[in-house]
Structure 1
């Protein structure tokens, strides 16, 4: 039996899902070509584009942002966050508040899930490359991976649009890298940045610690969580408030993506771990 079949019983207007292993797609359900608003699942896509820019030498991962782009912050905020780097921004450790370009904590002091931080990443990459961030994301990530219907329709934090088929291409690259990023960069992206930071995981409350990589949320020992307790601590991925999610479990050698068009809520808190369990039972 297809372990994804339960997705068709979710209380959502539309849904599609797929599970992959290193050799390719293991199961699918729903209209995998249908495009969905990704919400915050946009963030890891934007992060990969920023890391491509780092590898191309356009921007530096560990150089303080106020040194090369003070105008993006303004003089007062640049002074307050003088040590903030792209690494901090990608891992939500920048000190920026969630929705406003202001200081919410000291740099590296705690994990603040910052949408405005990802908007700033887009501005920094555009400033460094001279290319609109949506176009850069398409050239750096979507086109090489053949994510043929994916696009960025606005904010790098939340306005991506893509199908399950598009995200299958991403997950295949993460499970069996073909060279989008250097192996060391990819290993860095899925490793905990600034270990031990406390913070709030949206929808799930305070986490001690709230582990994050470069664009990817890392499961660690978080509880409660949107993956299964049986997913390995090394599992990484993201979910979005539009009812979207994906994870990659390196220990199991599996990746799961599920996209819907119903906002995140109690239905997802129940359904997503159940789906993860079914996938691990079938293929783990």
Structure 2
């Protein structure tokens, strides 16, 4: 795919990108796709998927108590537990505001670890990374932001999410469905959104503007971006997913470059 070469124009030392179809077919790749990059918050979809495996195994329930009083596993996955961004401090009642929270995902990781009696990073390796052949990916540290991976591995994950083998497709459909519809909140880097739609560990594009995906991305597009200069989106209407990793922190360069890149990828696919 010629559009992937646009990453060469990004003002970053290193970048890699790839596009994969729902059936797992790699449509194109560019750059060092085996290079390991810090994922920052692109860690969250991987952690969420591991938590959903724990749910299907019966170790946890989505609506069981977890986190602050009144909060559940579902609240933690959907950033509506009321926990602050990076502090284990309650700032709102569960279900009332979309408070994007690293602390919430750390509580989630601890909850899964306690329920399974396995450290979360090891559980994620056994439940998700190893079965998908994601041998270059680690989730040591915070399940909110400390993952390290490659484009090659994220393509494997994106193929799984589009055509699930590790989870019941109905569970994945739930993960990409808006939780606590109409909830307002801040999308990091893009300001206040009303509503700020989110699924179970995946952000949902809907009608958000501005946004890190493209203007031609479907409203059903879901995924995540990371402050380390990373993103993964899955567009069910286009039937493809795209992973792009770079080693420059998110900033104005990404706000300008990423949407144009995504629009070019989608335009090439339509030709």
Q: Same fold (TM over 0.5)?
A: yes
Please give the range of the TM-score, normalised by the shorter of the 2 chains.
Answer: over 0.9
Which of 110, 115, 121 is equivalent to 1:123? 110
Matches within 5 A, 1:25-64: 25-64=26-65
**Contact residue 182 and residue 195 of structure 2 kept, 8 A:** yes
CA deviations over 1:182-218 (Å, ceiling 9, x no partner): 1111000010000000000000000010000000000
Identify the residue that residue 230 of structure 2 maps to in structure 1. Answer: 244
Shift of 1:251: 0.5
Alignment of 1:98-177 (within 5 A): 98-177=85-164
Aligned 8 A contact 2:53 2:167 in 1: yes
Q: CA deviation at 1:176?
A: 2.2
Task: Answer whether contact 2:186 2:192 (CA < 8 A) is retained.
Answer: yes
Note if 1:265 corresponds to 2:251.
yes
TM-score normalised to the size of structure 2? 0.97
Equivalents in 1 of 2:65, 2:230: separation in Å?
A: 33
Give, in whole Å, the separation in 1 of the partners of 2:189 and 2:22: 31
Following superposition, which runs of at least 4 residues in structure 1 exceed 2 angstroms of deviation? none
Partners of 2:160 and 2:121 in 1: CA distance: 21
- Residue ranges of structure 1 left out of the alignment (5+ in a row): 66-72, 74-80
Hey, what does 1:232 align to over in structure 2? Answer: 218
Aligned length: 269
Q: What residue number does 1:68 align with?
A: none
1:99 positional shift: 1.2
Q: CA RMSD in A?
A: 1.0
The answer to whether the 8 Å contact 2:163/2:169 transfers is: no
Where does residue 83 of structure 2 map in the other structure? 96
TM-score (norm 1): 0.93
* Structure 1 segment 149-228 matched on structure 2, within 5 A: 149-177=136-164, 179-228=165-214
Shift of 1:22: 2.4
Contact 2:151 2:245 in 1 (8 A): yes
Distance 2:89 2:248 in 1: 31
- Alpha-carbon distance, 1:100 to partner: 1.1
The structure that has the greater radius of gyration is 1
Cα distance, 1:153 vs. partner? 2.5
2:15 matched to which residue of 1?
15
Unaligned stretches of 5+ residues in structure 2? none
Deviations 1:33-90 (A, max 9, x none): 000000000001000000100111111110122xxxxxxx6xxxxxxx4221000000
Give the drift of 1:8: 1.2
1:103-149 deviation per Cα after TM superposition (whole angstroms, max 9, x unaligned): 11111010000000000011001100110101001000001111111
- 1:4 pairs with 2:4: yes
Shift of 1:230: 1.0
